[in-house]
Amino acid sequence: MREGKTILEMKKITKSFPGVRALKEVDLALRAGEVHCLVGENGAGKSTLIKIMTGAHTMTSGEMLVNGTPQVLTSPLDGRELGIRAIYQELDLLPTLSVAENIFMEDVPKTKLGLVDWPKMNRKAAELLQMFHVEISPYSLIRDLTVAEQQIVAIVKALSQDSKVLIMDEPSAVLTGSELERLFGIIAELKKQGVAIVYITHRLIEVFEIGDIVTVLRDGENIVTKDIEDVTMEKMIQWMVGREIDEQFYKEKVAIGDVVLEAKNLSVEGMVKEASFELREGEILGLAGLVGAGRTELLKSIFGEYRLNSGTLTIFGEECRFNSPRDAIAKGLGFVPEDRKTEGAVLCRSIEENISLGVLAKKEFKFLVHFPTIFKKAVELANYVKIRCHSLRQEVVTLSGGNQQKTVLAKWLASESQILLLDEPTRGIDVGSKLEFYKFMAELVRNGKSIILVSSELPELMALSDRILVMSNSRIRKEFRAGEATQEQILEHAIPQELREAASS
Ligand SMILES: Nc1ncnc2c1ncn2[C@@H]1O[C@H](COP(=O)(O)OP(=O)(O)OP(=O)(O)O)[C@@H](O)[C@H]1O
Ligand SMILES: [Mg+2]
């Protein structure tokens, strides 16, 4: 069946970091025109493996062959020279440079005189961005873009040069609906051109949508490599976690109490328009919408990151005007941001210290802090969300992507906030840990806390929420009760009016 020529071959790859063996004698072969999916739990070794392919990490032992020739890569430059390119999980864009500058950073278009050809660079960037039909200006600074837009820029950057092997580490984590479809369209196109593609994802359904072959890593070992036709979802999950998982979601019936938060006509210039809703004790309120619908912005305006232009916010019966997140935290609010890298964790500090920051956040008298108690709490929470590490003293930067996300979660859970605003909390988290997290959410609301949940995974949102608000174009368009709406109905309200009109005319 498989005809593509083997482009890249990894043989018995082992990689050790201080205190941990991330990969153990892993074999992997990539063929031209094939999408090779790589799945496994958080910390299984996926990112480490692909970083060895690109030259970003050096292997401890093993061999890598490119077109049959053994190659020793000592830096990403070597990988690039061989046509191996990657879109990493932690995007490697420079926040203070423009979109176009980032895309062409490694291959700047020059004029005949050898100067940077700015018009050409911006024009080419705009052309490339067109593939996604998104309104991202080549002149915008990266730091002004949303996470999803940054992801698109990173993809476009990788596509701006020809590659023989293209590696994508969870590109779909932040994309939804139409952008994801376009990404899949682009992947199909690259396949036709004979590019070998590695695709890492925790949205396992995607493996069946675009994969030709799948490799499951567990504890740094290749458990199985199989053609997609010979794999089922149940089997794949079992290979990943090493046991059977029978339920996907978890939700308890909890008594819903009084209103704890009431928003009336909240507006923030250009971001949120007249949002009105209530949140009750013990309730999980879901926020549905497409990328850019204004869900994150709504959370941030409640959390005091944006100043309200108008409207009122009443929390526990008291009208609040927050000047900063600090005020919101003091009032019992907690926020798990979607961008864990820049907003969530202090990467250069230990897991223990990061989680403890959450405990500290709610302390009014900092000098009364009892550190042993705080660290004990940190250990409990780290175990709870199953952060996979060899020590809690480990720096967060050395954790796998999913485990960094879990650290941010634990930090906010430690703060014992009464009202939690969760922005895509399960992004990048593996199936087994997701289930643990759902159980933890159930425990929180059982204890009288309230949650506003933003999630682009509609099945997740529908299974966990008591009510769902659907947003588009910065406005709340519709409210559904639990079990009342189908995925199609939610999407219908999530797609902006203009687009629907355009589609029907
Ligand atoms: N720079 C580093 N220093 C020390 N340990 C590291 C470093 N990078 C990764 N590790 C460890 O190697 C192991 C594998 O991590 P890796 O990032 O490859 O996991 P992953 O499969 O990509 O997980 P995720 O799904 O969470 O992204 C983990 O135990 C991680 O803590
Ligand atoms: Mg990873």
Who's near 180: CB < 8 A, 6+ residues apart?
Answer: 172
Residue nearest to atom 29 of ligand 1 (CA): 43
At the second CATH level, the architecture of 247-332+417-505 is: 3-Layer(aba) Sandwich (3.40)
Q: Is 426's C-beta closer than 6 angstroms to any atom of ligand 1?
A: no
Q: Is 407's C-beta closer than 6 angstroms to any atom of ligand 1?
A: no
Asked if 301 contacts 274 with a C-beta cutoff of 8 angstroms, the reply is no
- Angle at which helix 431-446 crosses helix 401-414, to 10 degrees, equals 10
Q: Is 401's C-beta closer than 6 angstroms to any atom of ligand 1?
A: yes
* Closest ligand 1 atom, residue 45 Cα: 18
Q: Of the candidates 205, 143, 194, 144, which has an alpha carbon nearest to the alpha carbon of residue 172?
A: 205
For residue 113, name the pLDDT band (cuts at 50, 70, 90): confident
Question: Nearest 5°: CA angle at 136, between 131 and 140?
Answer: 140
- pLDDT at residue 208 tops 80: yes
10 Å Cβ neighbour count for 341? 18
> Which percentage of the chain shows pLDDT scores above 90?
54
Predicted confidence at residue 365, as pLDDT, reads: 45
* Closest ligand 1 atom, residue 18 Cα: 4
Least confident window among 80-89, 117-126, 142-151: 142-151
Predicted confidence at residue 68, as pLDDT, reads: 94
DSSP-derived secondary structure for 440-460: HHHHHHHTT-EEEEE-S-HHH
For the chain, give the mean pLDDT. Answer: 88
Q: What is the mean pLDDT of residues 128-133?
A: 83
| Two tokens, residue 393 | 């003293």
- pLDDT at residue 159 tops 60: yes
- pLDDT, tens digit, 9 for 90 and up, residues 464-488: 999 999 999 999 999 999 889 898 8
- pLDDT at residue 369 tops 80: no
Predicted confidence at residue 341, as pLDDT, reads: 61
Least confident window among 67-76, 160-169, 405-414, 419-428: 405-414
For residue 97, name the pLDDT band (cuts at 50, 70, 90): very high
* Closest ligand 1 atom, residue 46 Cα: 21
User: Which position has the token pair 């949002």?
Assistant: 275
Q: Is 400's C-beta closer than 6 angstroms to any atom of ligand 1?
A: yes
Give 245 Cα–ligand 1 centroid separation in angstroms. Answer: 24
Q: Is 403's C-beta closer than 6 angstroms to any atom of ligand 1?
A: yes
Q: What is the mean pLDDT of residues 170-190?
A: 84
Q: What is the mean pLDDT of residues 205-230?
A: 96
Predicted confidence at residue 361, as pLDDT, reads: 61
Predicted confidence at residue 174, as pLDDT, reads: 77
Tell me whether domains 6-241 and 247-332+417-505 share a fold.
yes
Give 109 Cα–ligand 2 centroid separation in angstroms. Answer: 32
Mutation choice for ligand 1 from 10, 37, 42, 48, CB with most ligand atoms inside 8 A: 48
- pLDDT at residue 27 tops 70: yes
- pLDDT at residue 129 tops 70: yes
- pLDDT at residue 419 tops 60: yes
Mutation choice for ligand 1 from 10, 14, 17, CB with most ligand atoms inside 8 A: 17
- pLDDT at residue 62 tops 90: yes
CA 26 – CA 22 distance, rounded (Å): 10
Question: Nearest 5°: CA angle at 355, between 354 and 361?
Answer: 90
Give the number of the ligand closest to the Cα of residue 402. 1
- pLDDT at residue 234 tops 60: yes
- pLDDT at residue 366 tops 60: no
10 Å Cβ neighbour count for 501? 9
Q: What is the mean pLDDT of residues 300-326?
A: 94
Give the DSSP H/E element, type plus range, for residue 69.
strand 69-70
User: Which position has the token pair 């794999």?
Assistant: 231
Q: What is the mean pLDDT of residues 354-368?
A: 63
- pLDDT, tens digit, 9 for 90 and up, residues 484-494: 989 889 988 98
* CATH class assigned to 6-241: alpha beta
For residue 363, name the pLDDT band (cuts at 50, 70, 90): low
* Residue scoring higher pLDDT (18 or 385): 18
- pLDDT at residue 454 tops 70: yes
Domain layout of the chain by residue ranges: 6-241, 247-332+417-505, 340-416
- pLDDT at residue 359 tops 70: no
Residue nearest to atom 2 of ligand 1 (CA): 398
Regarding beta strands 333-336 and 419-423, do their DSSP bridges make them parallel or antiparallel, or are they unpaired?
Answer: parallel
Q: Is 43's C-beta closer than 6 angstroms to any atom of ligand 1?
A: yes
Who's near 89: CB < 8 A, 6+ residues apart?
Answer: 47, 169, 170, 173, 200, 401, 428
Kindly report the pTM of this predicted structure: 0.82
Give the number of the ligand closest to the Cα of residue 405. 1
Give 51 Cα–ligand 1 centroid separation in angstroms. Answer: 11
Q: Is 47's C-beta closer than 6 angstroms to any atom of ligand 1?
A: yes
- pLDDT at residue 314 tops 90: yes
Q: Is 496's C-beta closer than 6 angstroms to any atom of ligand 1?
A: no
Residue nearest to atom 3 of ligand 1 (CA): 398
- pLDDT at residue 1 tops 60: no
Greatest Cα pair distance in the chain: 72
For residue 318, name the pLDDT band (cuts at 50, 70, 90): very high
* Closest ligand 1 atom, residue 430 Cα: 25
Mutation choice for ligand 1 from 386, 399, 404, 430, CB with most ligand atoms inside 8 A: 399
Q: Is 433's C-beta closer than 6 angstroms to any atom of ligand 1?
A: no
- pLDDT at residue 168 tops 50: yes
Amino acid identity, residue 327?
Answer: D
Q: Is 48's C-beta closer than 6 angstroms to any atom of ligand 1?
A: yes
Give the number of the ligand closest to the Cα of residue 40. 1
22-31, 389-398, 404-413 — most confident range: 22-31
CA 219 – CA 226 distance, rounded (Å): 18
Residue nearest to atom 8 of ligand 1 (CA): 398
- Distances from the Cα of 382 to the Cαs of 88, 214, 367, 412, in angstroms? 25, 31, 25, 12
Q: Is 20's C-beta closer than 6 angstroms to any atom of ligand 1?
A: yes
Q: List the beta strands (DSSP E) in 201-236.
A: 213-218, 221-227
Who's near 129: CB < 8 A, 6+ residues apart?
Answer: 99, 136, 138, 152, 153, 156
- pLDDT at residue 315 tops 70: yes
CA 343 – CA 366 distance, rounded (Å): 22
Least confident window among 236-240, 281-285, 375-379: 375-379
